[in-house]
Chains A and B, each alone.
Chain A
Amino acid sequence: MTVDGVPNVRVCVEPVREGATVRAQNVLGSLDRDLLNVVDRIGGPFTPVGFYYRTMLRPRRLWPQYERVLRNLAGLGCLDKSGRRSGRYDVEHRRADVLVIGGGEAGVAAARAAAENSVGSVVLVDERAAPHIDGVETLAPARAIGFYEGGLVPVDAGNVLYRFRAGKVVVATGTVEQPLLFPGNDLVGVLLPQAVRRLVDDWALKPGDRGVIVSADGAGLDVVEQLRRAGVEIVEVVDLRESLPSTLAANGRRGRLESVTIEGRELACDLLVMSGGRQPAYSLLAQAGARVEYDARRGIFVPVDLPANVEAAGSVTETEPAAAPPPPSFDGGDAKGRCFVCICEDVTEKDVKRALAEGFDSLELAKRYTTVTMGPCQGRLCHLPSIRLYARETGSDEGAIGTTTARPPWAPVSLGLLAGRGLEPAKRTAIHHRHVELGATMMWTGAWRRPHSYGDAAGEARHVHEALGLIDVSTLGKLLVEGPDAAAFLELLYPNRFADMKVGRVRYGVLGSDAGRIMDDGTIGRIADDRFYVTTTSTGADTVIEWFDWWNAVWGMDVEVVNLTGALAAVNVAGPRSRELLGRLTDVDVSNEGIAYLDTKEAHVAGVPCLILRIGFVGELGYELHFASPYGEYLWDTLLERGKDLGIRPFGLEPQRILRLEKMHIIVGQDTDSESNVLEAGMPWIAKLDKDDFVGKWALEHVQARGFREQLVGFEMANGVVPAEGGQIVLDGRSAGRVTSARMSPHLGKAIGMAWVRPQLAVEDARIEIKVDGRLEAARVRLKPFFDPKGERLRA
């Protein structure tokens, strides 16, 4: 049944609620005119097991259509593709000294004993309402859905998933009555004893007028009492332990039971209660690590060798023996009904035989082929019967066939509950709300939310060249590397040299691995003899910090690495008028002598202590200000206010990407990949191969010795078309490289980009062609920055 859109709801345990929308599942229309019947009737021979795999494999393009029909036929419920989160789901982490799963007699006794012995906190989980026990916390209705490694037991309580870690888990899940296999066993009116007990005892419903009972154990026969109470006329009771009929079949019309035929005798009835005995519900124990073996005497699988801290209570291990296990299936004589092994997945006895005939003789393979045990009941009702059937058909015994792995979830669980809250933590800068108020389009870069632009990327980029721009760069990774070994530590980590750096200077650094690969880049400022301020890329910050800590853990040098990423906000004030603005806000000398290109200095700016770094990622005179993040909004506001007459304008990430491309400054991960090294990426001056050692030295020496295979260069399009990133460079009809970045530069009025090309093309002005929308467009290679190649604007 589908109740309020939730599929696979078991009718006999779901209470009726006012206003609930209940729909039949696995039928089209009403049961009386079940359209699937048509498929069943004509399809009996037409839709055998594995039908999809064999028949609908080709043509592949028709799969979507096939699938749509098959999904409907399979009756697996309906996914609302435009649906939104419909309810709230929470996860609660719980600990308990004893967790009892199952609130039957044995579970209650175990919980009571644990509470009386005051072993600590005791929690009892039951599918239905469990009784109150002193000293025991009861969770009901709730279901343990699996037993995961580390002793993790998730419990489904509707809208809350409890993740239990318990000192001891007591599994008292009892047994599951097993169906008998005979033709017509899917008809409405064929019930298991458990369903009868619930209908009569719990809901006071009369399950039928005339009943037949066929059972392999005493518990099944006991429902006679319930049936009498409900006023059901008992037509016949068959105790399979005493007499085993040679044929058994149920007959019906329009899906409803009308009679039962036992050894040729036809008995009119509308209720058939059947039981093939009880199988321990051992799934949770097996998931916990217990071994499961076949007990031939009792004809069931039993859990043995329980792992430490896991106990079983009650009938999950101690089931009274049936005198003799029932046969795997009954011959129905000339009955027309189909004999189902797996009701959820519509697998019949015939399907299983067919799978075997096709060579799927291993249980695990056959399970995947027929999908028996893979439906919502998770094998509760079909695992044992299917194994019995396999044993008979293959002429082996059940023990030799073994069991399939019953993986979690043990019970159907809603995807919403598994997904939980579903919020990924986002990082926001201290200036975040200002961007939103200024109308910025926000975008993700890693976990960060950043302004893409404030509505006019090209205009914002041009404005930085012409006047004054302001960008929030708080997302940069910021590290303090401090200690007597600080310089030596950085010398080992970077290909660059730092030992010769003077206090107050900044250097561009590229971080590499021992494979020579470029991992990250940033600036390194020496702010004291034994103290360096290191910035990293925004998305690489966490990796770099862990990388530094890792090597420090190995080398054990006298140096501390401190992550200041969140402690500090940072902005870049860039453009020809940036010096004038900075001069208004600080007492320090901001002239080219006072703070030269690649200088760093601590100063109060608008009353806030800042570390000023004069660097130029965007290619214009500019200052990065790094300062305590709670002053973020204040300093941002003050810069905009005091720079108003200078025409200051905020700019986003997209204009920054245009500006850096004009300078041919790389973005790690965009212009570089897992093969890129500083030599081939056109930055050979970074690598000081004369140093004794640094991470990546040997690999770079190897690259130098073997010669370059490709090189990172710039290119300029002949006719202003912007190629796609990833676009192919073509030379004489063959691939000769790929585009990594491309943009229209509003300042230069040209389409420019960067690309990896074969070394022979890494020559100024070399002609190349780039594939754009299937056409070849002409371009020229450029080795020097497109804008201000001599860096005069940066140094001005």
Chain B
Amino acid sequence: MTGLDFVSLDRAVAGDGFEPRLSSPLCRALEGSDRVLDLSFLGKIEVRGDVDAINGDLEVVRITPQRALVLCAPEEAAALRDRLPGMVIDMTAALAGLELHGVRTLRRLTDLDLDALPAVGRVADVPCLVLRNGDSFRLFFPQEYGHSVAEVVLDVLKGLE
């Protein structure tokens, strides 16, 4: 084992009586709500360096000219880590993810300009990356806040019922 395997989710091995399993910090807090989707296990690869050199059919979110996040399916993460340019760090475990709907919901969570997304900024009082597709929003934020953010999001949704 070399490098930074201990940061990645996809380097665990089953066998010898061990069955490593994942748990999301969000799943309990979401209480099975069907209005919010848990995106925590989506692959999130951070690239530092020349982010313009990233090529291929990838969802690349540029955070600064020297820093970007590449979003991918969990099973693509390993191959991407190998082929992306610059310094590559697997942030899949670091960031929890949520998908939710409604402009009004977002307005109750953040001061960010919803017409100028994606952006990183303050959402539900935590640092957050926000992406938008029509009426649907994806939020990525430090997983240790997962429970707190889920509570706030569910409460906001309740307030808009």
Contacts and interface: CB of A to CB of B under 8 A. Distances in A.
A–B in direct contact per CB < 8 Å: yes
B76 interface: no
A609 B22 contact: no
Contact of A423 (B41, B91, B151): B151
A261 B144 CA distance: 73
Given A90-B156, A428-B147, A611-B6, A633 B23 contact: yes
B148 A425 contact: yes
A419 to B, nearest CB: 14
Contact of A608 (B12, B104, B143, B152): B12
Contacts of A630: 9, 22-25, 40-41, 93
Contacts of A568: 6-7, 93
Given A564-B7, A568-B7, A630-B23, A429 B16 contact: no
A585 B12 CA distance: 13
Interface in A176-219: none
Contacts of A94: 107
Contacts of A425: 124-126, 145, 148-149, 152
Interface string B50-75: 00000000000000000000000000
Interface residues of A, number: 53
A631 B8 CA distance: 10
Interface string A116-151: 000000000000000000000000000000000000
Contacts of A429: 144
Centre residue among B28, B111, B125 by max chain A CB count within 10 A: B111
Nearest to B142: A566
Given A421-B152, A427-B144, A609-B5, A564 B94 contact: yes
Contacts of B124: 425
A482 B28 CA distance: 35
B137 to A, nearest CB: 14
Interface string B96-118: 00000000100110111100000
A433 B27 CA distance: 11
B159 interface: yes
A609 B6 contact: yes
Contacts of A609: 1, 5-6, 8, 11-12
Interface stretch (A72-80, A371-379, A621-629, A646-654): A621-629
Interface in A537-573: 560, 562-568
A423 B20 contact: no
A481 to B, nearest CB: 12
A632 B93 CA distance: 11
B83 interface: no
Nearest to B151: A423
B84 to A, nearest CB: 14
Contacts of A487: none
A603 B46 CA distance: 24
A93 interface: yes
A240 B51 CA distance: 76
Nearest to A165: B111
B133 interface: no
B81 interface: no
Centre residue among B14, B21, B93, B112 by max chain A CB count within 10 A: B93
A430 interface: yes
A611 to B, nearest CB: 5
Contact of A626 (B6, B9, B148): B6
Contacts of A635: 20
Nearest to B1: A602
A628 B9 CA distance: 6
Centre residue among B2, B6, B104 by max chain A CB count within 10 A: B6
Contacts of A93: 107-108, 110-112
Contact of B152 (A95, A423, A633): A423
Contacts of B132: none
Contacts of B159: 88, 90
B25 to A, nearest CB: 6
A38 interface: no
Contacts of B146: 428
A603 B1 CA distance: 7
Contact of B6 (A92, A428, A602): A602
Interface string B6-49: 11110111111011111111001000000000001100001010
Interface in A234-282: none
A298 interface: no
B82 interface: no
A751 interface: no
B89 interface: yes
Interface in A52-105: 88, 90-95
A609 B2 CA distance: 10
Contact of B148 (A165, A426, A604): A426
B143 A610 contact: no
B13 to A, nearest CB: 5
B145 A606 contact: no
B155 interface: yes
A734 to B, nearest CB: 47
A634 B18 CA distance: 10
A565 B107 contact: no
A607 B126 contact: no
Nearest to A635: B20
A760 interface: no
29 contacts: A90-B159, A91-B108, A92-B107, A93-B107, A94-B107, A95-B113, A423-B148, A425-B152, A426-B147, A426-B148, A428-B25, A429-B144, A480-B4, A560-B48, A562-B48, A568-B6, A585-B18, A604-B12, A607-B14, A609-B1, A628-B7, A628-B12, A628-B92, A631-B9, A631-B22, A634-B20, A634-B21, A635-B20, A638-B18
Closest 9 CB pairs of A and B: A567-B94, A607-B18, A628-B93, A427-B144, A630-B22, A425-B148, A609-B5, A566-B142, A93-B111
Given A428-B146, A480-B89, 5 more contacts: A90-B156, A426-B147, A565-B142, A566-B144, A609-B5
Interface of A: 88, 90-95, 163, 165, 421, 423-430, 432-433, 448, 480, 482-483, 560, 562-568, 585, 602-604, 606-611, 626-635, 638
